[in-house]
Amino acid sequence: MILSIVGLDIGYGRKIVQRSLNLQAGSGRLICLVGRNGYGKSTLLRTIAGLQPPLAGEILIDGQDVTKMSDGKRSLLMSLVLTDRIDVDNMTVSDLVALGRYPYTSWNGSLSPEDKDMVADAMRRVNIFHQKDKPLNCISDGEKQRAVIAKALAQDTPLVLLDEPTSHLDLSSRIDIMFLLRDLSHTTKKTFVLSTHELDLAIGMADYIWLMQQNGVTTGIPEDLLLDGTFRQSLANDNFDFDTDDGHYRIIRPQGILNAAIVGDIDSDRARWLRCAFRRCGVAENNDSANSVEIDGSRFVFGGRTSERIEDVIDWVCQANSNFIR
């Protein structure tokens, strides 16, 4: 195992956040650390990284206890990508990535030809080489994140830790970064452990999930945690539920006194999205309801009126009962 955590207590001072954690991570795995705020996701990563001391237990990387190592020795075994934004105006992409080689350089910090080759290779792996001479303030947030990941690759450690690497990014960039991390873990055989609030992306991309709960960590592949109800039990509340059919959260709005039936093409995309709108607006789907919405091809039919827009259907259904508040 690349990473072994044995009997680990984490926290701050005398406050213990998690006790007696026992976790393992093999090579070539993308592991996503998920869970509610306050359960210790970032604390665990920071403890593994040596940014704060463990309160008890061992952290082994390649069989070596990193809790007793100097920062220099630890930097040869793990690299860290934090959530902090990069605001170094004059540094270029290649300057940043080259910082990953400094644990290996001589006292004057100069890069050898081998170091420069590894920097170039890291930039190519994350598809940022064409931006190598650009200042960091001239590239997008997604490209900056790729550059930071390239820096971690250039450091050439068996373990890479990432604290919410998609937190500052738009949806497209978040998906791109998760695809990139999955590909890198498999092609480089390095172990990537990242914390994230993007549960849907974690379920779709991770080889393994570490789910932080109030008292411990549940581990497994995403599909097993879906099937055994772990996600629903741990993460749902009165305002949302976890849909085990598609691995997404579903907002629960208290349903009003109004209900409606859906008839016609009930298995179509239009029916699926109409049901989503019903749930969002608090309308109960009831096959025995006198309020019936028929789906006929591309049209919705309600009370003799037709439209292709779900918005119109919701208005009609709401108007059917003056006590219903949309």
- Kindly report the CATH number assigned to the domain that includes residue 13: 3.40.50.300
Per-residue model confidence (pLDDT) at position 281: 82
**Whether residue 313 is found in the same domain as residue 215:** no
Residue 326 lies in a domain: no
Angle at 276 between CA 273 and CA 279, to 5 degrees: 155
Per-residue model confidence (pLDDT) at position 283: 86
Task: Walk along the chain (326 residues) and give the pLDDT tens digit of each residue.
Answer: 899 999 999 998 888 999 999 999 999 999 999 998 889 999 999 999 999 999 999 999 999 999 888 888 999 999 999 876 666 668 999 999 999 999 888 767 789 999 999 999 999 999 999 999 999 988 998 999 999 999 999 999 999 999 999 988 888 999 999 999 999 999 999 999 999 988 889 999 999 999 999 889 999 999 999 888 888 787 766 666 666 666 666 666 665 667 899 999 999 999 999 998 888 888 888 888 888 999 999 999 998 899 999 999 999 888 876 544 44
Domain termination site, one of 179, 212, 243? 243
Contacts of 271 (CB under 8 A, 6+ apart): 262, 264, 265, 295
**Whether residue 66 is found in the same domain as residue 111:** yes
**Whether residue 148 is found in the same domain as residue 25:** yes
Per-residue model confidence (pLDDT) at position 89: 64
**Whether residue 156 is found in the same domain as residue 294:** no
**Whether residue 162 is found in the same domain as residue 266:** no
List Cα–Cα distances, 255 to 260, 290, 294, in angstroms. 12, 17, 21
In 81-96, which positions are buried (b, 16+ CB within 10 angstroms) versus exposed (e)?
Answer: bbeeebeeeebbbbbb
**Whether residue 192 is found in the same domain as residue 284:** no
What is the C-alpha separation between 255 and 286, in angstroms, rounded? 12
Residue 278 lies in a domain: yes
What is the C-alpha separation between 252 and 216, in angstroms, rounded? 28
List Cα–Cα distances, 290 to 148, 287, 321, in angstroms. 59, 9, 12
Query: H helices within the chain, ranges in order?
Result: 41-49, 71-74, 93-98, 113-125, 141-155, 171-188, 199-205, 222-227, 230-235, 269-281, 310-319
What is the C-alpha separation between 301 and 146, in angstroms, rounded? 49
The SS3 call for residue 58 is strand
Domain termination site, one of 197, 219, 243? 243
- Which residue type is seen at 239? N
**Whether residue 163 is found in the same domain as residue 236:** yes
Q: Tokens representing 308?
A: 């292709």
Domain extent at residue 140: 3-243
User: Tokens 């779900």 belong to which residue?
Assistant: 310
Per-residue model confidence (pLDDT) at position 252: 65
What is the C-alpha separation between 295 and 285, in angstroms, rounded? 14
Domain termination site, one of 194, 218, 243? 243
Per-residue model confidence (pLDDT) at position 318: 83
**Whether residue 266 is found in the same domain as residue 166:** no
Q: Is the dihedral of CA 120, 124, 128, 133 positive or negative?
A: positive
- The answer to whether the beta carbons of residues 36 and 199 sit under 8 Å apart is no
Per-residue model confidence (pLDDT) at position 325: 47
Half-sphere exposure of 78 toward its Cβ, with a 13 Å CA cutoff? 31
**Whether residue 271 is found in the same domain as residue 170:** no
Residue 253 lies in a domain: no
pTM of the full structure = 0.81
Residue 249 lies in a domain: no
What is the C-alpha separation between 298 and 75, in angstroms, rounded? 59
**Whether residue 119 is found in the same domain as residue 181:** yes
**Whether residue 300 is found in the same domain as residue 206:** no
What is the C-alpha separation between 183 and 175, in angstroms, rounded? 12
What is the C-alpha separation between 20 and 319, in angstroms, rounded? 57
**Whether residue 201 is found in the same domain as residue 162:** yes
How many domains does the chain contain in total?
A: 2
Per-residue model confidence (pLDDT) at position 233: 80
Residue 325 lies in a domain: no
Residue 248 lies in a domain: no
Per-residue model confidence (pLDDT) at position 324: 46
Residue 161 lies in a domain: yes
Residue 226 lies in a domain: yes
Per-residue model confidence (pLDDT) at position 256: 60
Per-residue model confidence (pLDDT) at position 326: 45
